Structure formats: structure tokens, C-alpha cells
Amino acid sequence: MPGKALEGIRVLDIATVIAAPWAAGIMADFGADVIKVEMPGRGDAVRAMGPHKNGKSLRWPMLGRNKRSITLDFHSEKGKALFLKLVEKADVVIENFKTGTLDKWGVGVEEMRKHNPNIIVSHVTGYGQTGPNRFLAGLGMPLQAYSGYVYMQGYEDRPPVNPPFPLADYVAGLYTVIGTMFALYYRDAKNGRGQEIDVSLYEGIFRMEESAVAQLDQLGIVYERAPHSRGSSCPIGTFKTKDGRFVIMVCSTNPVFDHLCDAMERPEWKTPYATAKERLADADYLNKEVADWFAARTYEEAKAACDKAGVPLSAVYSMQDIFNDPHYAARNDILTVPTEDFGPMKMPGVFPVMSETPGEVKWAGPRIGEHTEEVLHEWLGLSAEEVAALRADGAI
């Protein structure tokens, strides 16, 4: 039986809230030994974030899963010294303090490199480590607006719509994992050096706005608010069925449009609307015809016709729909994990699915400092008496 993909990789997660800790959590899902470093008595701010049950955060069991928690006070000289000793044994440090904060505390990258020249340090901040905004505070929801995404989201006659969760944080978390893995590969497989990864909360989303960038640059057109992608595909949109269900369907390629013609029994459309350019020129007509077709059928009838013809279609799912869906169940997309505060708790599964080295959820988010003595003994060889002395000094 092969080991986990990241078995043997040691990560110090000194970050808070969502983006950077979520990145560390993905690495923990695949076997990295992730040590969550938290302030004594306070812990990660996400422990207090809603939603709550019985006064406790429902987020923490998921964001803290598979990590071991230790406490360490960066404001204490002994705490700083202890952190740098841990850096000597680590492969990666993931942090999301304001740019310059670690240097101010005396534990910045240059100081880390004195103790571990090949340490990889992944920074996650609102605006990145460079540029005129680098010292500004940044959180995911406002940075989604800064990215340009929110400007394009919603209806023309209404205010822009921000997603109901901090998408920027999760996208930045994915880029943090990507950058960290690139750095590990370069260091370990190509005999390179450790390096810094600079991730901002806005650039991951901006990277996805390729068509809007090209449209302004080449056509001089600013992409305006619309409830669906505009100017690239047709028919496209959110449609309502006879029994009141909302569905989303898009014909992003010519073959898919052919399939839609088959599903709707409209073969006469195939020749005059063979290309996207021709369809977009008559978009209002086509979208109305499609809307009328859905309105005359139940969801099950429309879904069966589209599935048979090969037209991508999905109902707009609520979380209850997801909980009831057999495909989600078959893919183990929802796991039930024991938790200390809430008993058995459902949470998203481990992604991506890997054939040889699959990830797993071994435990939910731990108590603050639950593994302090264990980790300090395992990583640094400290005795119970030495740990107790550090605790008495307020270092941990």
C-alpha cells in the first residue's frame, strides 16, 4: 500500500481565517504533517466565525481538519526562538499576516533562512508583497470587488452581486497550494533552493477573466454586468421549467448546439445557426425559443431529453439537493466525520481524487494547543518538563 502523496512533508501553518489555512488543509488531506500554530488562549480567528451551534463555530472542524494544533506566542522572545527551531525542521511555512509583519516581529524570511536555508515560505495577503497597496488590509469579499469580478456579476438594472461566500479566499488557497507544490518540486526534484510564494486575494480571480481582458484590449469594450456569459455562447442562460425548477444550460460549442436542436426537435436550426457567430446575431430569438421550450416541460422531461441528446444541463441545486443527490454520494463528496463539539458532522470530501495516493480525513479540527507537547517532543525532542517551563513563561 503506497503512502500518502505528501507524506514526510512538514508544514507550519501560522495563518488565520480562510485562504492560507485552507491551503494548508488541502496539503494535510494528502498526508502532509501540518502543524497549526495558534496564539495561546485565543487561537485562529476562524474558531469564532459563524455559523455557530451551541456558541461554537461550525467552520473550524472543516478548516482545521487533519492538522495538529500547538500554541506559540510570537510576541514572546522564547516563543520566537521556539518558532525558529520549528522552522529548522519544517519544509514549508504558510502565513497571511500583513506584509512586513513577520519582519517586524523578528521572524521574517531572512531570519528563517538563517535557521533553514531551503525553507519555502508561502505568503497570502490582500494585495501581494509588492506594489503601492501591499500594506493595506485585505479580506476576500472586498478583494472580489477589486478583482473586477463583482462588476460583471448580476443584472444591468440592479447593484453588482458579490458571491455569498469569500470565493477569493478559496481561489487564493488553491493558488497557494499550486505555488507551494511547484516550489517543493523545484527544491526536491530539481535540486533547487527554497523560495517565497507571493499570493494575493484578487489575482487568482483576475487570472480567470481572460475574455474580459481581451475584450477591452482588442475591442475597446468593458464587459458589463450580466447574469450569464455574454458574447461568447448562445443559447445560454437560466431557464425555468413548467414545474418551477430553475436550470442552467449553455451551448458553448457547435456540436452542443446540434444536440440541443435534436433535444428540442428543431432540425431546421442546424444550417442557419451552424456557428456561434450566427447564433449570437440572433441571440434574443434563440434564447426566447429555448426559454419557451423549458417552460412547456417539467424538469424531468427536459432533463431526459437533454441527457439523451447530449446537452449539458443542470438544475440549480440547493444544499439540500446536494445532500440528496446519488452522484454526490457515489463519489464520496460528502463525508461524515466525528467531532468533539457536534458529534458526527458532514463536510466536503477530499479533492482531487487520486488513484494511487488518495487523501483522507483523519480527524476534524482539534482543540487549541491539543498537540503542543506531542509536536515539541516529536519535532524538537523537548521533554514534558521543558514544555511545562515554556508554558509557565507564556511562550506557548
The C-alpha atoms of residue 246 and residue 370 are separated, in whole angstroms, by 46
Spatial distance between the Cα atoms of 59 and 39, rounded to a whole number of angstroms? 18
Contact 161, 56 (CB under 8 A): no
Going by C-beta distance under 8 Å and a sequence separation of 6 or more, which residues neighbour residue 146? 202
User: Rg of the chain over CA atoms, in angstroms?
Assistant: 25
The DSSP secondary structure of 289-322, one letter per residue, reads HHHHHHHTS-HHHHHHHHHHHT--EEE---HHHH
Cis-peptide into 159, omega within 30 deg: no
Active site residue 169: yes
The DSSP bridge pattern shows strands 92-95 and 68-71 to be unpaired
Where does the chain show beta strands of DSSP type E?
10-13, 33-38, 52-53, 56-57, 68-71, 92-95, 120-125, 196-200, 236-240, 246-250, 313-315, 334-339, 343-348
Residues contacting residue 90 through CB under 8 Å, at least 6 positions apart: 10, 11, 12, 35, 116, 119
Q: Give me 378's grid cell.
A: 516529536
Query: What's the rounded Cα separation, in Å, for the pair 25 and 359?
Result: 11
Closest by CA position to 109, among listed 197, 168, 33, 175 = 197
DSSP string, 330-343: HTT-EEEEEETTTE
Q: Are 195 and 120 in contact (CB under 8 A)?
A: yes
Please pick, among 91, 169, 198, 258, the residue that the annotation labels catalytic.
169
Map residue 276 onto helix, strand or coil.
Answer: helix
Positions annotated as catalytic residues are 169
